[in-house]
Amino acid sequence: MKIKHIVESQQFTVPLILELFERTDLMKKVVARGGTKDYEKKVMASLFYKPSTRTRFSFESAMYRLGGRILSTEQAKEFSSEVKGELLEDTIQIVANYCDAIVLRHHEEGGAQRAAAISPVPIINAGDGSGGQHPTQGLLDLYTIYNECHALDGLSVAIIGALDQGRTARSLAYLLSKFERIKLYFIAPDELQIKPDILEHLDEKGVSYQLSSNTDDIISKVDVVYQTRIDKERLKHKEIDLTKYNIDTNVLKKMKYNSIIMHPLPRSVEINPAVDGDPRAAYFRQARNGLYVRMALLTMLFDKE
């Protein structure tokens, strides 16, 4: 299937997702044998308007394992010392001359869409604005569930954190809604619960869900716990004890033996490092899947010709 740009998770249909996962499985084998040279003529530009070394390294490593090369900046705001506020469109048209794909992290919501509208080379959205999209994170999350649970249909997934602004939580809920017999649990302090637009979408798709302000009854039932962070500063009702959302070895004991714990990382206190050694702690494997999924996405863009 052909895709030109990767701008938002909505563009990924189930067949496209399944092709992506097939390619991702293949990329694991490619990496295991030391990478490929198939894309050695390709140059990828990392055009980051604010630093995100983790995401950048993940993409750049993906490109290297495919044999390609990297142009890289984490200070694209200082792209030119002469004209402040140069049009993103101009920048993209210039950088497109120097590479075969642009991984863009832009500070404004909609930046990736604007870039894709005029770019002659593929744009990959690596996050635009705080309320914007970060589709490759959503896809690697989905792949991790698929890979760890050997299925997507029929899963029950608890998503914990400040869900109202949780870009990754929202993306994951959206992507999971494409599959059958999914049961979602949104666990957050009431004032930070997931927004109605997602719930309306789930209603439309006939996805079963439940909202809760604590993990107690839920944690023992689910196949996947998707943990994210809650910043204390965001809470008006400061008396709320956030530790009840944390995962430690006690919580672990209540979880199903074949469930998994995920986290988009970086973590703060919400997962105790004592949990890391448990086989259900999937978050570092999840980070590694970022490499494979991004390799697969790059091949989908490059193979389109």
Q: State the catalytic residues.
A: 54-55, 84, 105, 134
Cα distance between residue 210 and residue 67, in whole Å:
45
Cα distance between residue 265 and residue 16, in whole Å:
26
Answer yes or no whether residue 64 interacts with a second copy by CB under 8 A.
Answer: yes
Candidate residues 1, 14, 94, 151; the one interacting with a second copy per rule CB under 8 A? 94
Cα distance between residue 161 and residue 194, in whole Å:
9
Scored b (16 or more CB within 10 A) or e, 92-101 reads beebbeebbb
293 token code pair: 């999924």
CB atoms within 10 A of CB 216: 12
- Residues that bind a second copy (rule: CB under 8 A) add up to a total of 52
**Residue from 63, 87, 59, 64 nearest 74 by CA:** 59
Answer yes or no whether residue 198 interacts with a second copy by CB under 8 A.
Answer: no
| Nearest residue (CB) to a second copy, 218 versus 263 | 263
Candidate residues 3, 25, 26, 52; the one interacting with a second copy per rule CB under 8 A? 52
Q: How far is the CB of 130 from a second copy (least distance, A)?
A: 10
Which listed range, 21-29, 76-84, 172-180, 249-257, lies at the site for a second copy (CB under 8 A)?
76-84
**Which residue's structure tokens are 């950048």?**
56
SS3 266: coil
Site string for a second copy, 202-231 (x = CB under 8 A): ---------------------------x--
| 8-state DSSP, 213 | S
Candidate residues 15, 29, 32, 82; the one interacting with a second copy per rule CB under 8 A? 82
Binding site for a second copy (CB under 8 A): 34-35, 41, 43, 45, 50-54, 56-58, 60-61, 64-65, 69, 71-76, 78-83, 86-87, 89-91, 93-95, 97-99, 229, 265-268, 273, 284, 287-288, 290-291
